[in-house]
């Protein structure tokens, strides 16, 4: 029948609630943790490498955590977000208020964030941990991050081309705005702040959170841009040798950059 509702139309209320929820948990929460972990580079190569060691202590379970708790919720949030942006209507020409511009920027920054995250994962990780695929990505200047040489490879990847830090600056700003403004919108969706007075208080809360997250992102970016990859690599080699001998980590050539020193 011509008037038959689509799946999205039938379940739009639930899908919008899931979209709102995944924007906070796990996508938004992961972004905050990820930027905080990266900002630990300001405490030195050892601090950042130890944080990466802890993450990779999950072993083979890491890929399931990445896809189950991060990438799949992110893809749902991004794809349904594109649907919302496509179906919405901008009205800033008639009502040029702050909230209307935030509505527009929420959709624009969402699209920018989607492109940035796709590029970021390709740049650092190559998306899929399959040898032939990673070799292809590395030839294209992608899949540059190696977990057991975390600081040096991240710094080298960022410093390889001026376009990368510019992309990251724009991308982080888009992600943070989208997260903070989305947090404010989610509060309305879930009935946390309905009155104008409550919404005003929420403004201070969400933009305060957004400012702190942006500071973490800028700190991480600045830390990797000013790090000496060669000196960082020497520290990582020592840490790798000591960690393998102590049984803290399992030797893994795929997580090492080259040249490296084996224990």
Q: Is 262 within a domain?
A: no
Whole-model pTM: value is 0.89
Helices marked H in 227-255: 229-246
Q: Is residue 179 part of a domain?
A: yes
Domain assignment of residue 250, yes or no? yes
**Number of domains making up the chain:** 1
Range of the domain at 143: 7-255
**Helix H segments across 57-144?**
61-66, 72-87, 98-124, 131-139
**DSSP percent split of the chain into helix, strand, coil, nearest 5:** 75, 0, 25
At 200, which CATH number?
1.20.1300.10
Q: Angle of helix 163-189 relative to helix 196-226, nearest 10 degrees?
A: 160
pLDDT, residue 213, reads 97
pLDDT at residue number 260: 47
Domain assignment present for residue 237? The answer is yes
27 falls within a domain = yes
Rounded Cα–Cα distance for residues 153 and 145 (Å): 5
Is residue 202 assigned to a domain? yes
Residue 256 neighbours by CB distance under 10 Å: 19
Is residue 69 situated within a structural domain? yes
Q: What pLDDT is recorded for position 229? A: 97
> In a structure prediction context, what are the per-residue pLDDT tens digits for the chain, which is 263 residues long?
456 888 887 888 899 889 989 989 899 999 999 999 999 999 999 999 999 999 999 888 998 998 899 989 999 999 998 888 777 655 555 555 777 888 889 999 999 999 999 999 999 999 988 889 988 999 999 999 999 999 999 999 999 999 999 999 999 999 999 999 999 999 988 889 889 999 999 999 999 999 999 999 999 999 999 999 999 999 999 999 999 999 999 898 889 987 544 43
Q: What is the pLDDT of residue 262?
A: 41
Residues 6+ apart with CB under 8 A from 15: 8, 80
**What is residue 49's predicted lDDT score, i.e. its pLDDT?**
97
Q: Is residue 59 in some structural domain?
A: yes
């Amino acid at each position: 029948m011509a008037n038959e509702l689509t799946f999205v139309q039938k379940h739009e209320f639930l899908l919008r609630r899931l979209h709102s929820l995944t924007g906070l948990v796990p996508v938004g929460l992961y972004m905050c943790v990820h930027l905080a972990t990266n900002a630990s580079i300001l405490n030195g190569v050892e601090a950042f490498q130890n944080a990466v060691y802890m993450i990779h202590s999950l072993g083979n379970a890491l890929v399931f955590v990445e896809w189950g708790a991060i990438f799949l919720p992110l893809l749902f949030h991004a794809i349904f977000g594109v649907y919302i942006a496509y179906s919405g209507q901008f009205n800033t020409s008639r009502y040029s208020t702050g909230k209307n511009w935030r509505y527009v920027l929420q959709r624009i920054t969402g699209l920018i964030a989607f492109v940035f995250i796709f590029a970021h994962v390709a740049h650092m990780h190559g998306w899929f941990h399959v040898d032939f695929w990673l070799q292809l990505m590395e030839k294209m200047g992608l899949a540059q991050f190696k977990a057991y040489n975390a600081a040096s490879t991240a710094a080298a990847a960022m410093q390889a081309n001026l376009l990368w830090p510019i992309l990251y600056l724009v991308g982080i700003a888009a992600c943070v705005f989208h997260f903070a403004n989305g947090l404010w919108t989610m509060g309305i969706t879930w009935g946390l702040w309905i009155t104008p007075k409550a919404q005003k208080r929420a403004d201070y809360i969400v933009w305060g959170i957004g400012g702190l997250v942006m500071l973490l992102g800028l700190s991480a970016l600045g830390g990797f841009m000013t790090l000496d990859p060669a000196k960082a690599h020497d520290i990582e080699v020592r840490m790798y040798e000591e960690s393998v001998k102590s049984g803290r980590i399992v030797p893994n050539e795929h997580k090492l950059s080259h040249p490296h020193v084996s224990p």
